[in-house]
Amino acid sequence: MRLSILAFVVVPGMALLTGCGGGSGGSDAVAPIAPPSPLSGVISIEANSRVDQDTMDQLGLDGAIPAPGTQRLPENFVLAGYVSGSGGTYPANQSACQPLFYSADSNDTYTVPLAPGETLVLQSFGSCLGDPELELQLDSLPVKTATIGSSVVLANFTEARDYRVTITNRSDVPARYILAKTVSMTSNGLSFEWPDYEFAEDRALITVEGDQGAQMALASMQGIAPRHLGGESWLLTRTAPASRITNANQRKQETLNWIRNLRQKPGFAQVQPDYLFSSQQAGTPINEPFYPRQWHYGLINGPAAWQLVHGGGAGVNVAVLDTGILRLNSGQWHPDLDANIIAGWDFVDNDNNPADPGNSIGGDVFHGTHEAGTIGAVINGDGIGGVAFGSGIVPVRVLGEGGTGSASDLIEAINWVVNEGQVDVVNMSLGGLPEISQLESVLQKGVERDVLFVAAAGNSSTSVKSYPAASPYVLAVSAVDGAGNLAGYSNFGSWIDLAAPGGDASRDGNLDGSSDVVWSSSGELTATGPRAGYLGLQGTSMASPHVAGVLALMKEESPDLNHAQVIQALRNGELTDYNGSRSDALGYGVIDAAKAVSAASSTFEQTVLSASPAVVSLSSEGQDQQRVDLNVFGNDAISGVSVSSLPAWLSVTTDNLDSRPYSLTLALLRDRLVAGEAAKGTIEISYSVNGSAETLSIPAIGQLISDQEARNAGRHFVLLVNTEPDARGLYLAESQVVVDAESGQYPFRFEFDDGEEPRRLSEVRPGDYYLVAGTDHDGDGLICQPGEACAEYPVSGLREVITIEDGQSLSDIRMTTSFSRPTISTSNPDILPRPGFKGYRLLQPDQAPSTNDGVKAVQ
């Protein structure tokens, strides 16, 4: 889609800079008005962003030297920095290098407030000169080393205080780095590198146009092995690749070229790569031993739901499409799952034993076992229990080594689940796929047979759609922390249906003194075989099974419940803590198990009063007031509802406590909070059921946040670049503006080309461009590399062409810059991956934009 500039607009709030000295303004002075701009706007900065005070953006200035002393960081931050053991010049003989000077800055020192339950993460990125190791030291403790492609994690702090953190580069090779307290602690969490969709070489997913078309198209192809996936979907494998290329990137490109050629053949409605996907890792009845750790069940009103539905999902079967389930040498499954397991299938090894073998490389988390435990772990007085502890679990293995799988296996697995006819709910804690027509077809088939699908939204902190969650036939679940706030890693967007607890290891959102991880069944591989255990994890993978479990509880009460009914109830606010306004972060709200089972049934044995939302979390930067609905579940009379206790930093308006429906509104009293310090308290509601006194306790959290104006991601270069890369894979700038942060954002404006020479870098000529912005922390003349901030219009990862026409203007362009990178997804099934992206190349003042071939200088 192209954005054409069609209106003449004078940009408000953009005044010309005037010289200093001489004369007073006077009361009658008229502020100068900026001339029209072809393109202007504001770049917002992601929350908690900070920058090292002596990156090459600063050191490149005349006379600049590395900053002395220490830099103090706030309570929460994601900071980007630069270190180099010596100065030098980047070589000009490599495609990713320009002959630019870089300065010595061997170490950076910070003062960081850390406390028990918090974590500190360092991730390093090399340059075209190589990949140096960085050293991370906390106070005088032993040094830890960060290598490229891995992170150093510091945790287990024994006391809350300021720590001295030093990052050192002892090599002669420059390096960029990210230091963070808010980064996701799982491999699928916040990413600082541009990802490409991984796909299988020499394989293609196709949708054929009817049986006759399939026979004709497939019969005409040689060197191809077809495999029917069900319906009109097929997997084609090249048995004789066209060449013997050994370079991996070139082989991938050859596969993409083959797919492009297949798209031209008659009889094929859709042709796509066989994308690889991965797990999205990033209560129980209260007498189970691990229940005190399972804060996430209280957040979804689990205890109230279990009082209403005593069978725990009895008679309902939930398929868990994942890594399989931990199986002991005895042949039994994990002891918290064994009694509920129903025969499934392994589509990775193509057999009837969907056991999780663990990973041959790296740690074992037994991802599928964790999801199955959240859904349906049994009540046995040992370990944990699940949301739907009485439901049947059908393990279906579609993820293999490292938690990855192929779209073809997923499609075949869903076909199997639907055709078997024994499954009511399907949980898919996996994702990262683009929209695939063959996948949509089998999901639609399942919905038509009253199967309910739930999937994890993804952990890339992006609004870009991730499938299967983004499918209209699936409930897309984002993740929240212990305070009910969107987790830092969680995806978001218009396609999110609802949210559930996924945890955030970097936060203690409910202020219970522990990281907000989700506890469930797991295990480990020992020398004698698998051993059952329990583990706390985070991710939208952990959020999705909460919703699947609640759907199982609903299905127990209403066996004929279908997808359309669930969607309608969701939009009516009957399944969540919905406040009347849908959001891109949480969809229609956080799942409320008590409300959901109440929506599915009208007859209950007990009467309880339940709050929605179950936890009240207010902040000065986010929501500073909250309506709380007090829902009555059951048939007995309730009376005497009143607020009996309230934290001092909250005010209450009793909207209606005299008769049903009961409600009240809570507001944050900012003057009673300390900036940067979270407060925790409890709201107590007194009431009577048939004359018996009861109390409802609602956890409350309040925060006075002062981050907005302090946000700074470093000096930004705003570019209009060519829409096609050069032979080296670089996108070359045609126009350029340099901006620094002002009150937590970057205002920018370009100028019309006046036709005079020399042409200024900020002047724009008519044409088609991409609008991008970012930092160049290591001074190599490229922005948007890993470890640097980046913004693309309109959304990072989904850039669109802007057409600038002579004499026309566009104002109020909005973008957001971030050190994190999106998972590049799209709802257009014809879009292929964007491999080989290296960055956007800067202009320099004495350089003609059409050549873009010199060295960079800072304006």
Residues assigned a catalytic role: 322, 367, 541
- In the structure encoding, which two tokens stand for residue 431, read together? 């994702």
Spatial distance between the Cα atoms of 425 and 418, rounded to a whole number of angstroms: 10
Of 429, 399, 466, 480, nearest in space to 318 by CA: 429
261's enclosing H/E stretch is helix 248-262
- Is the Cβ–Cβ distance between 824 and 197 less than 8 Å? yes
| Calpha distance 394→151 (Å, rounded) | 36
779 and 56 in contact (C-beta within 8 Å)? yes
Question: Sign (positive/negative) of CA torsion 27, 28, 29, 30?
Answer: positive
Angle between helices 540-557 and 367-376 (to 10 degrees): 30
CB 679 within 8 A of CB 737: no
Report helix, strand or coil for 304: helix
- CA atoms of 127 and 104, how far apart (whole Å): 14
SS3 per residue for 421-468: CCCCEEEECEECECCCHHHHHHHHHHHHCCCEEEEECCCCCCCCCCEC
Contact 82, 42 (CB under 8 A): no
Q: How many whole angstroms separate alpha carbon 329 and alpha carbon 109?
A: 51
* Torsion angle of the four alpha carbons 74, 79, 84, 85, in this order, in degrees rounded to the nearest 10: 40
Cα distance between residue 804 and residue 3, in whole Å: 9
Planar angle of CA 180, 186, 187, nearest 5 degrees: 100
**CB of 682 within 8 A of CB of 691?**
no
Residues in the chain: 859
Distance CA 406, CA 668 (A): 48
Phi (first) and psi of residue 411, to 5 degrees: -60, -45
Residues 6 or more apart whose CB falls under 8 angstroms from that of 481 comprise 487, 501, 502, 503, 504, 507, 509, 510, 516
Q: For residue 463, what are the CA distances in angstroms to 451, 458, 466, 713?
A: 27, 10, 9, 20
Residue entry with tokens 């390093």: 124
CA distance 641 to 443: 46
